[in-house]
Amino acid sequence: MSSGGGFDLLHAAHEKGIFIDAKPFILCFIAANIAFLTIAPLQTLHNFELLMLISPIWLPIVVGRFAFLRWVSANRMAFLARQEYVLLEIRVPRDVRKTPLAMEAVFSSMHLSPGESTWWKRIVLGAVRPSWSFEIVSLGGRVHLYVRTRVGFRRGLESYIYAQYPEVEIVEAADYSLLTDPSHPPYDLWGCEYKFNGKDVFPIRTYAEFMKPDSPLAKPEEQIDPLAQIIEFLGSLSPKEQFWIQIMIRVSKEEKYAGRKNAAGKKYTILDEKNEEVENIRTSTVRKSTHVDPATGQTYETESFPNPTKGAQNAMEALERKVSKPLFDVGIRALYTAPQDAYQGIVVSHLIGLWKPIASAQGNSLNITRWHANFDDWPWEDRHGHHHAHVAHGIVDSYRRRAYFNEPYVMPWIVMNTEELATIFHIPSSGVTTPSLPRIQSSTSEAPSNLPI
């Protein structure tokens, strides 16, 4: 399921539960050429002669562009293969009295994009800016928080987290995704990725909206934690079940709108999208009135801009707030797996509705896409389960690679700001009392330097 061209597009295309791959189209093309050759052999030969005659013109263009893109991709894959990564587990203390605002400060500090400053680095050396994977995982009902980073960024990442959460403990962990192989028997799995229901410029319901309106300064443990329901559900799984949630992030640049230009002829950005949506909201409030000139008897129309409604004001404020904070490209995927004797299909419904608590009626929501989300459960769709097995292997492979923005798996990502990121991943406060979320007694620290010897 990589983004390797038209074959992958056809391979992933579904219409009303009917799977379409490239083979029928290839066979039809071959059959059409054979039929044309049988009916008009001389004309067919002339067509091929003409095609070969002008090949010095079209062949270098087609093959050259393809070769250049493959060369750049190969350089990037080689660069990524040379990087060293480490998986860190964040052990949560018993007493966390901070809201997700602390995690927002962590994400703001991580708004770094070194390595792509020149075309030489991007194209020849294949350098790509760093990405991080934040993960919420249930292993047999025990909930864990992980973050995967390049080794070179480990020190900075740990310092950012410790600065806001000095009580936590960060330790190097074994990669849990390699301990089992969910894509092969006796395991079964269901997985998907998530996309916005609307345009990226519209925000989700963030943690700020979960704060008690009558007591915004209440203690964190008295506030509503947007992750509480997810963590509680993950903690309810049986010892044989596993539930993996992966949130990939990197600094957002112009790739989302590649090649698009704004009215001024410059690169189109999310700021342009915000301005368009704000203008659409303002235009929707325009009132047209018809008047008759008493002197001439002519009819004319006037436009007025009344004060916007509360809903329109909130929508425009949300759009402004979205782009006023550091932005990240974000890819979210999740999968549920268990041995066939313990696999509960009903869990898939919870996976589909995983992010319902942060859905915004006036803003955005997260819906499932790709992978097993493409199955419509029609009885003729995948009779022998071959396609399901292929998709299962693909999502497990992409999850283990933590691949979302670069080859071999380039997926359609979304754009979130730091406030939205802190809503979907943060250190749960002490108000989240799920017993299956292990909490340490206290953090380990060095003795004070002024103790007598």
DSSP string spanning 138-207? EETTEEEEEEEEEGGGHHHHHHHHHHH-TT-EEEE---GGGT--TTSTTEEEEEEEEEESS-TTS----H
373 versus 129: the higher-pLDDT residue is: 129
Name the pLDDT band for 221 (thresholds 50, 70, 90).
low
The whole-number pLDDT of residue 32 equals 85
Would you state the pLDDT for residue 106? 96
pLDDT at 306: 66
Out of 68-82, 176-190, 208-222, least confident range: 208-222
Interval 155-159 mean pLDDT: 95
For residue 22, pLDDT beyond 70? no
User: Does position 124 have pLDDT exceeding 60, yes or no?
Assistant: yes
Can you state the angle between helices 55-82 and 41-53, rounded to 10 degrees?
60
Q: What is the mean pLDDT of residues 99-119?
A: 92
Q: Is the pLDDT of residue 441 over 50?
A: yes
Q: How far is Cα 333 from Cα 431, in angstroms, rounded to an integer?
A: 27
- pLDDT for 302 beyond 70: no
Residue 393 — φ and ψ, nearest 5°? -65, -40
Mean per-residue pLDDT, 338-347: 92
- Whether residue 224 is predicted with pLDDT greater than 90 in this model: the reply is no
Whether 436 has a pLDDT exceeding 80, the answer reads no
Reported confidence tier of residue 213, pLDDT bands at 50, 70, 90: low
pLDDT at position 310 over 80: no
Distance CA 309, CA 252 (A): 32
d(CA 40, CA 19): 35
Q: What is the DSSP string of 213-236?
A: TT-TTS-GGGSPPTTHHHHHHHTT
Residue 443 has pLDDT above 80, yes or no: no
Q: Report the distance separating Cα 438 and Cα 424, nearest Å.
A: 19
Q: What is the dihedral of CA 340, 342, 348, 349, to 10 degrees?
A: 140
pLDDT > 70 in the chain, percent = 84
pLDDT of residue 125: 92
- pLDDT tens-digit readout, 3-18: 444 444 444 443 333 4
Residue with more model confidence, 453 or 67: 67
pLDDT of residue 130: 94
| The predicted structure's pLDDT at residue 289 | 67
Question: What is the maximum span of the chain, computed from C-alpha positions, in angstroms?
Answer: 102
Average pLDDT, the chain: 84
pLDDT of residue 215: 53
Span 369-390, pLDDT tens digits: 988 777 766 666 666 777 788 8
Tell me: the pLDDT tens digits for 25-59? 888 888 887 888 888 888 888 888 888 888 888 88
Q: To the nearest whole percent, how much of the chain has pLDDT over 90?
A: 46
Residue 420 has pLDDT above 90, yes or no: yes
Amino acid at 343: Y
Residue 20 has pLDDT above 60, yes or no: no
| 315 contacts: CB under 8 Å, gap ≥ 6 | 281, 362, 363
The confidence score (pLDDT) of residue 17 equals: 38
In whole angstroms, give the CA distance from residue 417 to residue 100.
13
pLDDT class of 449 with cuts at 50, 70, 90: low
Domains parsed from the chain with CATH numbers? 6-49 (no CATH), 81-254+324-440 (3.40.462)
Token pair 């989240």 in the structure block, residue: 432
Q: For residues 225-258, b (16+ Cβ closer than 10 Å) or e, as one string?
A: bbbbebbbbbbebeeebbbbbbbbbbbbeeebbe
The predicted model gives 336-358 an average pLDDT of 92
Least confidently predicted of 158-162, 174-178, 211-215:
211-215
Provide the pLDDT for residue 220: 59
Q: What is the mean pLDDT of residues 245-274?
A: 87
Q: Give one DSSP letter per residue of 257-275, joined into a string.
A: GTT-B-TTSSB--HHHHHH
Q: Alpha-carbon distance 83 to 401, whole Å?
A: 12
Q: What's the confidence (pLDDT) of residue 127?
A: 92
